[in-house]
Each structure stands twice: as structure tokens, then as C-alpha cells.
Amino acid sequence: MCNVDGFQERKKRQKFQSLWRFVWQVLLITLFVFYCSAYSASAAASTALCSVIAAHIISVEGIVELRRAEERRWQRVEPYEKLCQGDMLRVRSRSRASIRLSNDSMLRLDQKTTITIVEPEAEKASLLDLLKGKLHIITRTPIPFEIRTPFVNGGVEGTEFFIGVEQDKASIVVYEGKVIASNKQGSLVLSDRESATILKDQAPHKEGVIRPIDAVQWALYYPSIIDYRLDEKIVAESSVQPIWRTSLEYYRQGRLFEALSILDQIAPHELTSHLLTYRAGLLLSVGRIDEAKIDIEQALQLQPYDSDAYALQAMIAVVQNVKENALNLANQAVELDRTSPTARLALSYAQQAHFKIEEALGSVEEAIRLDEKNALAWARLSELHMSTGYIDRALEAAQQAVSLNPHLGKTQTVLGFAYLLRIDTKKAKATFTQAIELDQADPMPRLGLGLALIREGKLEAGRIEIEIAASLDPANSLIRSYLGKAYFEEKRYFLASTQFDLAKERDPNDPTPWFYDAIQKQTQNQPMDALRDIQKSIELNNNRAVYRSKLLLDQDQAGRSSSLARIYDNLGFEKRALMETAKSLSLDPANHSVHRFLSDVYVNIPRHEIARVSELLQAQLLQPINVNPVQPHLAIADLNIITGTGPAISGFNEFAPLMERNKPQLVASGIFGNNSTLGDEIVASAVYDRASISLGQFHYDTKGFKRNDPGISNNNDQTHNIYNVFMQYALTPKFNVQAEFRTRKTEQGDLTLDFNPKNYDPSYRRELSEDTARIGARYALSPNQDLIFSGKYIDRSEFVHIERPEFKQQNVIDTDLGNKGFQIEAQHIFRTKSFNSIIGGSGYRFDDNLLVNSNKTQKELERESAYIYTNTNFLRNIDTTFALSYDSFSNTLDTEKVDKLNPKFGLQWNITNSVRLRAAWLEATKSHLIAQQSLEPTQVAGFNQFFDDINGTRSRRMGVGLDTHFTNQLYSGIEVSERKLEVPFGINDIRETSPIEYLQKQKEQLYRAYFYWLFNSNWAIKGEMQFEKFARKDERIEVNNPDRIQTLSLPITINYFHPQGFFFNTSINTVKQNLRRKQDFNDNQERNPEKTNSGVDTFFLLDSIIGYRFPNRRGMLAFEGRNLLNDKFFYRNTGFYISEAIPTRYVPERTFFARLTLNF
């Protein structure tokens, strides 16, 4: 019975529990639904309340509070919170905030600042009420808006300025742009570097020129240099030890405001010098510079030899750009305590401010030796390793810093940059985001995040982050330069120029903004101003040309790829460009930008084709991943197109970005002219993370100028088709590989201009087919050592048809020349501050198959070479070059090996900052080359050593030059050189079965002078003189060949450039040539150009160009006329012998053509 009752009782309890579970589940579901409904209603209410988002909170330091328009209570805000119209925001003591308005304006709010975001009025565009406090504003909105204060209203028109409100006055400082300050008593307009003070009930009063950073001292960022830990110093401060310990725990967690606030509990009489410097460091971190200075002074009163106090003073001087004072204070801090890592860190910042990176690195390494657990020291070490190119070391140091203290924004920031250097943007972004959360005052993680976003192709998002960085540290020149580059990429050139100007102002000794501003001005059709900026950057860079910015934490390679040669080319100042590149290559032979610069300069200099394509190859092997188009025609040395008349009016490098990012690019250029001239060049390129590719095609077709033979073929036509594929991939930050494939087809007649235009072969026809494959690699053994490799294979076939009616038995000569072979080259480059070396070698194997009608010959040609070049700069104003090369190559006649040693010497002496002397003595051998390209240096002290001579030619060149620029408007120079040549020829000897080689002696003399005058920002005048003399004495010379050629040219050119894009160029060139053939000498006959194809002729050439550069770097259009006077003249465009066809300098016929280049 009991069992039954117990069972029934348990059954009742189970039913009750089931019912209770059901009720409980219903209740939970009801509560969940209610919560969701309430949340949705709240969100809806919030959305309804904020139907138009007026601003976003970007950063919060300390206590920042918000009061909604419909509410009475204040509540603390967090980053990224939305603000509505009518909301009020206030910043409490020792706090700061940044907000971004809906019109993209950036606002930085100081402590004790209160603003209201006001609904726009019907007539005006008022956005803000500043009730009290201080604002720093960067606004780029094209729509004017107004800031109202109790004493004055500020009408803003796309500017950067400061506005502050105190109890009985207001002040405005304008950094760039325009602000209209007005009240009931009056108004005035403030422009760049102007300020005004407005007293209560008084009209605005303009002040004088201001020091830019004075008004925003509170907004500057001061890097931490004291790595506070719970050490023996705190234990010694027993009376305040609990408070200090708590403060330090907050600091180690990245909670600076809390760490500072708790110190207020310490009574003034308990403050020690160590505690005062600790608090001063925290005060600097939150922008309280005045309070920090007071604490430092009190610390020095208590302890006059406090090293940390002097270190903090040094950091204040560094941030405020008082560099000499900073260095003195930092050295004093070290002297006071040589065991202080803090003093060493301060010294490193002061040394870096003076561009003494190696010394700064040494100071940091000493700081780590003194304190191996110092997270800030390891972070600083990583930062400096990045600046010196030690990427792996930088990553290791950054990881060590994070392991010591992962809660410091500084440690995460340097780790983010280390990832960015390795093109690991995903990790970089995550790390920068974490750093921003830890330290919202630090601009560097914002800069890093912006660079990472831009690298991924998110230009606008990246630019916004860099704008935030500029707002967080308005005095930072480096950030200003980057912001200018970002605006440049967005084609907002006025804003880019403004940022570069602000960067120059923030740090007048930094060459970086001058360099970038020069590139920007050149693309805006202002080459004269660009050249002045380039010259200024050189002066600031110890009289060396700048190809990148200093002290950068990303690779900044895109800026280096921008073609400086275009500035000189626009003006026609090639001689000046040669001098600059000679200096730069003697100091940094691994700089890919300088090699590309020199290659571009060589484009318009006759007989430098081998040097041009060789410099291009070296630039490609040394370059990083980039989107720069690879133009198919540039790697070809023998296109024989009239100088400057190819489809591309400019090197496509002009359209290269200043900031590398994932993006595609398409550049197309075309030409149309008389004589049925038609050509085009189209290149599509793209970069994505570690890979880049470029696909290009080139076509050119013309019938050539008329030779005045009615009824007879001019046979001056030519057709070229080239296709090119280039690929590059960075396997690691140190190691990248590349491959290039090119195919070429050429058909042409007799293109020779041999004094008399009628002196040509109407039957001559040439067909050329060439396929080339190349692989290359670059491995950075260290930041000062590079190893590059190039392997090329060529399959070339050439057919030549000649008719000789005077030969009865064989009046047609058909020649088939087939070549297959490979060329392998390797080079090691080592460089230090005052010494560098280039050691390399190459090997060549070539199968030469020649078929003349039915007679076939085969040869195997070989070549081995080795070389060493050393450049020294032990004396600051003198650069010397010593070199030795060895060539062993097959004789082209009998394939016997020829060995040759070639010593070389060069000197560059800056007699003064405006006068440079150059001298060279060098020997060289012109041997077999695939595609005429070589990795061996092409010049010594600005004197080219590789000319288009016959294979096997031995040469010795001696030269001296003097280049001057006494002002930034006048440039001049002279150069004298002589080449002595031994040119191989074959002669028949009855004792030999085949021709034997003999060396014909020749001599070339070259005299040059130039004068360049930048008349003003629109006009430039160029005058040059060049005299060439070719002579040889040899009884074996055929009677119809020249034995002496003397050519004098005197071109004078006037250039005009308008900032709106129009440009105009006109030149008058007087040319006199005296050509003598051997038959003239033998017969002593009177020379007659028409009959003997020799003699003297003087002619005048008038050329002109008018063009327009499209806005936003979209391209350009130009119309050009050559020989407008239609002067018929006699002229030979080559020396005695060449191995390949070369471009024609002058054409004895009026020529017109139009050229169009488009960039997408």
C-alpha cells in the first residue's frame, strides 16, 4: 500500500515539474521576444533619431561624454559611435577626442572642449557650435560650412586650421586654405599662416605670421621612451608604492588615462624626482605638454642630474623639430647616466632626426644591452631595422617587443609594419587595428593601416586612415608626405601640393616632400618648378639626388619608380641628367630608379643604344614588384626609328603611381604622320600582392622620306611588330624572380642616310625575326648586398636581299643568317656609406649559321667576361671609381679566342656645391651580346663606355667635364673626350686559307657644351654645342668609304609650359658637316655632294611641338613638325661602322605627325 502511495506521489511531482518546466520555457521565450522587440524598438528609435548621421567618433582618450539631442543625461562614448544633429560632445580634463564629420572633415578636440552638432540653417551651412575649448580641423569639403563660437563665427572653405575659445576671447590660426572670421563688429579673411584674435564685443584682429605648431601643442604625439615596470625603484618609494604600483599596472595594460588619474591621490610633498618624470611621461602621452614641462622642472629641482628628465626634454625638442637642442639634451642625458636605456632611446630619436640612422641604431642596441626586457627598446630596434632594410631582423625585434608587452600600442605598431614590409597585408591590418585599440593617440598605426589598405587597392579607405593620422599628429612631416601621395593617387593634385608644402614647413631639412612635389608638378605640366624642387631635394640630401624618402616604414618603392628623367626630358636638359645619375650610381649602384632614370635619359642621345637597353635590364632586375608598364620597344636597340618619332611621346613611367597598390593599368599610345607613318604601343599591366604582369604590343609602319627620285622606289620603308610578356613574383621580401618573353618581326629597305640622300641601294631588303626569352632573379643577401642573375636565350633569323646588275654571273645576293644561343650573367653588389663594389661575370654561347646564296658557313661564337668596379667616397666631396674588366671572346673571322684586360678610372669632384669636375680614363671591348644588353656598368663618371661598334672593337676613352649651377635658374657645362679604337676587319692572305683579322685604328673626338636657363615658371631656354670628329688612316679603306667626318651642331630651344596643360616647343638647329671619302684624298679632286657624295654642307632645321597634357594624368596629345623649312641637305647619320641600325637624327624633308597617349 505504501509502495502505491509512494508511486502516486512521485507521479504527481513529475507532473508538477513538467508543468513548471513548461511555464519556465514559455517565460524565457517571452522574455527573449520582449528583449528582441525592445532592442529592435531601441534600434529603430535610434535610427529614427539619427536618420542623418552627422559624424562618427574616431578616437577617445580619457573621458569623452555625449548628450543626445532629446536627452538630459551625459554618457561616456566609445570609438566608432555615431553622432546625430543636435548632439553635444564634451571632453573632460586630460582627455582628447577625434571625430569625422559626414562631410569628411576631421576634428581633433582638446581637453575641456564642448561642441554641438547643429542642424543646418535654411540660408547657411552651419555645422558646429564650439561652446568652449580648442579644435584642430582638417576639412576637404567643397561645400563651405560654418563654426560658431560665442565671440566669432568661422566660415570654412576647404582648409586646415585651429580655433579656440576661452573665457573672454577666441583665436583662429590658419595653416592652409581660407577662413572667414566674422562677428557683429566686423570680419576678415585669413589665409595660409595667418591668425586672428577676437576679444569679446570687438572686431576680429589679424595677427602676424605664426609658428605652425604653437597653437596645436596639445595635439602632438610624443613617443614613449621609458618602459615602466615594477622594479626596485618603485619598492624604494615605499610611501606611495601602492598607488604607483596600481598606476604602473594600468600603464602596462595600455590604460594611460587611468594610470595618470590615480597619481592625483599622491600629495605634492610626496612627489619624488622619479615619480615626477614618470608622471611627465604620461602627461606627454595625453598631450599635456605644459603640465609635463612643470613636472620635469620640479624633478630637476629635486635632482639636478636626473637623466630621465633630460631625456624627456630631448623628446619634446624632437617632436617640436628643434633638432640641435634635442641632440644636445639627449647627449646630456646619456652623460648623466650611461646605464640608462631611456637616455639611449631619446638619443636614438635625436640622431634619427638628423638622419643619422646608423648612429641611432647603435644607441638602441646599447639600450637593449642595458635592459634586455625593455619592450620599447625592442620596438625601437625593429623600427630602425626597417629604416635600414633589415626586414627579418625587424620582424624578430618586433615579435620580441610584443612578447615582452603585448598591451603597448608601440609594440603592435612595429609588428604591423614588419608584416607590411613582407606584403602580408592581412596580418598587418589585424595588428594595426589592435595597436589602435591600445593607443588611440598614436598616429603610426593609423598610417600603417592606411598603407595596408592602399596596398590592397582600397585607396579611399586608406587615405581616410592617413587623414586620421595627420589629425592625431599635425606636426609630423612624414605623415604629411604620405597624405600628399594619397591625394596624388586620387588625382586631387591641389591637396597633394598643399600637403607637400606643409611637410616642407614641418621639417625644412627633409628632402622627401621636395622630391614628391617635384614628381607631382611634372605631371601637372610644371617642369621648371619641378626641377627647382628636385634641386632643393638634392641640396638637402647632402648634395645627392633623391630617389625615395628617408626613414620610411614601408617599402615606398612606387615613388622611386616615378621617372625623374621625364622632368629633364620635358625641358631637354639631358646633359644635366647624365651628371646627376653619374653621381648617384657611384653612391648607390643597386638603386633601380637611377638605372631606369639613366635608361630614359639615353633615349634621345645618339649612339647610346647599348647603354640604354643595358641600363633598362639592370633596372628591371633590381626593381621590386610594381605596376609600371614594360614598353616592348624600349628593350630593342636597333629599331632605327627617327629619334623621338615612336608612338610614345613619353615614357609610360610618367603614369606610374606614387603609392604601390593592387590595381590594373592600361596605357596606349599612337602616332599618325605623313609618309604613311602609323604606329601604336599598348601595354596592359597589373599588380596583385606579390605578383605583377605586363603585356605589351608595339607596331610601327612608315614609307620613309622621299629621296627625290621620281619613278624609282624610295626603298626607305620599315615595319616593326613587337609583342612582349613580363612577369615578376616576390617569393620572399628578399627574393624575387622574373621572366620575360618577346617576339619581333621587322621588314625594311635601305635606311642608311649616307650624306647624299640619293646614295642608297633601291634593291636592298631586310627581314628580321627574333624570339627572346629571359629569366632573372634578385636576392638581397642583406640591406647592403644584392645578388642578381640573368639568363637569356635568343633565336634570331635574318634575310637580306641585294641586287647587283653590274655582276654578270651572280647579280642577286641573298643572305640568310641564323643565330641561336644563350647568355648567362650574374652580379654581386656591395655597398656601404663610403664604399661600394660591383663584381660580376657572364658567359655566352652562340651558333652562327650563314648562308650566302648556296654557300653555307657555321661558327660557334663564345664569350666569357668578368669585372670588378669599386666606388669610394671617403672624402665627402670626391668620388673615385677604379675598375678592371676581362673579356675572352671568339674572333668573328676565325673563331680564335681573343683575351683583353680593360682598366678604368673615374673621378667626380665637387669643387663647390655648384661646381663639379668629372674625369675618366677607361678601356672597353665591344663583344657579342644578346639583345645588346649587359649587366656590366655602362658608364664611369658620366662617360659612356659602350657604343654601337662592330663586335670585337677595342676602345680607350679619355674625358673631362665641368658642370655648374650658380643659381637654381642657370645650369651650364662643358665636356671634352676622345676615343681611340681598334676595329677588327678581315684581309686575304695567300698564306692562309681564310681571311685573317687585322685591327683598323680610328679616332673619335667629342666636344660638348650646354647652357640651360629657367627664365621663369613657364619659360625655359636651352642652348647646346656639339662637335664630333671621326678620323682614320688606313690604306685598306675602300675608296668610296669616308675617312673623316666632322659634324658641328648648335641647337637652341625655347620651351613654354602652362599649368593648365598646354606646352609649346620650338628649336633652331644649325648643323655643319664635313665628310671626306678616301677617293677624294687619292684623286685630290674637288668634292661635290651630288657627284662624290662628300664635301661640306651647312643647313638649318626648324622644329616645333605644340601639345596638351590631359587633366588627371589621363595622357597627352601633341602635334609636331620637323624640318619645317623643308631644307634639303647632305648628312651622314653614323660614324664609320656600326653593328646594328641606329635611329636617324635629321631627315631632309618636312615631316608632320600627331601623337596621342592615353592612360587608364
Angle at 500 between CA 495 and CA 504, to 5 degrees: 145
Residue 867's H or E segment, with its range, is strand 855-875
Nearest to 401 by CA among 425, 435, 356, 433: 435
The predicted structure's pLDDT at residue 641: 67
Cell numbers that stand for 239 in this block:
610611501
The predicted structure's pLDDT at residue 1136: 72
Q: What is the largest CA-CA distance in the chain?
A: 155
Residues 6+ apart with CB under 8 A from 248: 228, 229, 230, 234, 259
The predicted structure's pLDDT at residue 518: 87
Task: Give the 3-state DSSP-derived string for 208-242, with helices as H, strands as E and coil as C.
Answer: CCCCCCHHHHHHCCCCCCCCCCCCHHHHHCHHHHH
How far is residue 433's CA from residue 844's CA, in Å, rounded to a whole number? 53
How far is residue 950's CA from residue 984's CA, in Å, rounded to a whole number? 8
What pTM did the predictor assign?
Answer: 0.84
The predicted structure's pLDDT at residue 559: 41
To the nearest 10°, the Cα dihedral for 1070, 1076, 1077, 1082?
A: 160
pLDDT digit string, tens, across residues 170-215:
999 988 888 888 888 888 988 888 888 888 888 888 887 667 678 8
First to last CA, the chain: 97
The answer to whether 516 touches 330, Cβ cutoff 8 Å, is no
The domains located in the chain, with CATH, are 58-218 (2.60.120.1440), 565-1159 (2.40.170.20)
The answer to whether 379 touches 396, Cβ cutoff 8 Å, is no
Task: Give the 3-state DSSP-derived string for 62-116, with helices as H, strands as E and coil as C.
Answer: CCEEEECCCCCCCEECCCCCEEECCCEEEECCCCEEEEEECCCCEEEECCCEEEE
Residue 869's H or E segment, with its range, is strand 855-875
Residues 6+ apart with CB under 8 A from 686: 627, 663, 664, 665, 692, 693
DSSP 498: H
The answer to whether 984 touches 891, Cβ cutoff 8 Å, is yes
Q: What is the CA radius of gyration of the chain?
A: 37
The answer to whether 798 touches 760, Cβ cutoff 8 Å, is no
How far is residue 1042's CA from residue 1046's CA, in Å, rounded to a whole number? 11
pLDDT digit string, tens, across residues 1146-1160:
888 899 999 999 988
Q: How buried is 999 (Cβ within 10 angstroms: 0-12 exposed, 13-18 middle, 19+ buried)?
A: middle
pLDDT digit string, tens, across residues 789-821:
999 999 999 898 888 777 666 778 888 888 888
Classify 1095 as helix, strand or coil: strand
- Amino acid identity for residue 88 in this structure: M
Residue 63's CB is within 10 A of a number of other CB atoms, namely 18
* CA dihedral for 406, 408, 411, 415, sign (positive or negative): positive
How far is residue 511's CA from residue 493's CA, in Å, rounded to a whole number? 20
How far is residue 354's CA from residue 348's CA, in Å, rounded to a whole number? 10
Which residues in the chain land under pLDDT 50? 1-4, 6-7, 10, 20-21, 24-25, 28, 31-32, 34-48, 122, 235, 545-563, 646, 648, 650
